[in-house]
Structure 1
């Protein structure tokens, strides 16, 4: 079981009292986003239901599925945030390695990393810049840098961040060659992140193709309904509705299947 290197210091307590530190394993939606996701999901499902049934009541039976909208939106925004943090962490590692190689102290290396990341984000709104500012603030309170790194790794919930925090802590406390260890660690983690980005780029086209295949049946039904209404009329009566229901279920199962295939953890 992983244990914290040291007890929480007075400086950390003061900082936590002043700010609510972010947790990168969860994503809290605002009330407006939740309402928007529910309404958008309900409207989309109603449109699909009406397209397949041409019956308002039957289409309305699908609208409660919009309640899953906030969960899907939360998952998407969380994945996007963690992917961005992962890339920013890689940039921070290279900045840290360069500063230590140039002879700067550990504390000054973290302060310099803030300036380096501002080159990629002039507004300074990224999560990694915010975390570096938190680390620098804790250093001002006299808290050991390994304590601040450990807390960040705990809230980030990322394997690479946890490994870097562990290596950094062990090296700092045992008096190892911190410059060389950070350089090698940043190189290894950077290469891993490069591979992950290559994989993400490789499957991006397949994800688009999967979405296109899911949308194409809906577009075809819409096109046929608008151009050949008499031909599609049997679909909206009697056994046609049962067939439409089976088609909707099959389409939903295809969505779950493709989502599972394309959900490659990075």
Structure 2
């Protein structure tokens, strides 16, 4: 099954991301140095981009799984409220989840079907949830698996446990969505501000070429442009880090 803490890119994906990043880096290098050779020398930095993209994909998958897990808990709680055992409830919620997530590759659908197959081989449900939690790398799922395991063995109120867990996850997701909405405008402003230095250099290159020419063709000028480029990269990374608020 899927290990949500890992993502192995195909060769095709890596090539695509490297080429895309190399083009962007080359263009930026050309704008800052107006020298194809220097711009080409910067292109190997594109080799780091697939790793950055891989982390973004892992983060996105976990966010999707967290939302899907919340919906799964709602369905599971409803089935348990009808008096069904956990094992039967797990088998029953497949249809509900396929309505909510009709995509064949929806993560939670794959996980539930995997659980059903293992339940048919008499695997304990606690171990299945624990394995799922370990692979997910999501604290909420891990905490649920621990509480579920204790409650199931001790004969606790599973319905209440699931409802409480679902409520907590839902609250966290709603808070995260509110934060994302509040930050949406700021993130847009951040993107604009990240582009402005490049636009300024382009405009000066077009409309004040004699004025800006020394920074492209003299050693002190290139040192200054290198410092500016480093500051530009630092500002981009810092602004991205600041706007990445997680609950």
Q: Normalising by structure 2, report the TM-score.
A: 0.93
Q: Verify: 1:233 aligned to 2:216, yes or no.
A: no
Matches within 5 A, 1:134-153: 134-153=114-133
Instruction: Give, in angstroms, the shift of residue 200 of structure 1.
Output: 2.8
Q: Name the structure where helix makes up a greater proportion of residues.
A: 2
Instruction: Give, in angstroms, the shift of residue 245 of structure 1.
Output: 1.3
Instruction: Give the number of aligned pairs.
Output: 246
Aligned residue number for residue 56 of structure 2: 76
Aligned residue number for residue 206 of structure 1: 186
| Partner of residue 262 from structure 1, selected from 239, 243, 246 | 243
Aligned residue number for residue 223 of structure 2: 242
Cα distance in 2 for residues equivalent to 1:242 and 1:91: 55
Residues 26-62 of structure 1: CA deviation (Å, up to 9, x unaligned)? 1111111111111221221111111111111121221
Residues 45-97 of structure 1: CA deviation (Å, up to 9, x unaligned)? 11111111111112122111111111111111111111111111111111111
Cα distance in 2 for residues equivalent to 1:208 and 1:72: 21
Q: What CA RMSD, in Å, does the superposition of the two structures yield over aligned residues?
A: 1.6
Aligned residue number for residue 116 of structure 1: 96
Instruction: Give, in angstroms, the shift of residue 195 of structure 1.
Output: 1.7
Aligned residue number for residue 33 of structure 2: 53
Listed as ranges, the gaps of 5+ residues in structure 1 are: 1-20
Q: Normalising by structure 1, report the TM-score.
A: 0.87
Cα distance in 1 for residues equivalent to 2:117 and 2:215: 66
Q: Secondary structure at the match of 1:119?
A: helix
Listed as ranges, the gaps of 5+ residues in structure 2 are: none
Question: Residue 176 of structure 2 contacts residue 246 of structure 2 at CA under 8 Å; is this kept in 1?
Answer: no
Residues 243-263 of structure 1: CA deviation (Å, up to 9, x unaligned)? 211110110111121122123
Question: Residue 90 of structure 1 contacts residue 193 of structure 1 at CA under 8 Å; is this kept in 2?
Answer: no
Question: Residue 14 of structure 2 contacts residue 50 of structure 2 at CA under 8 Å; is this kept in 1?
Answer: yes
Matches within 5 A, 1:1-266: 21-238=1-218, 239-266=220-247
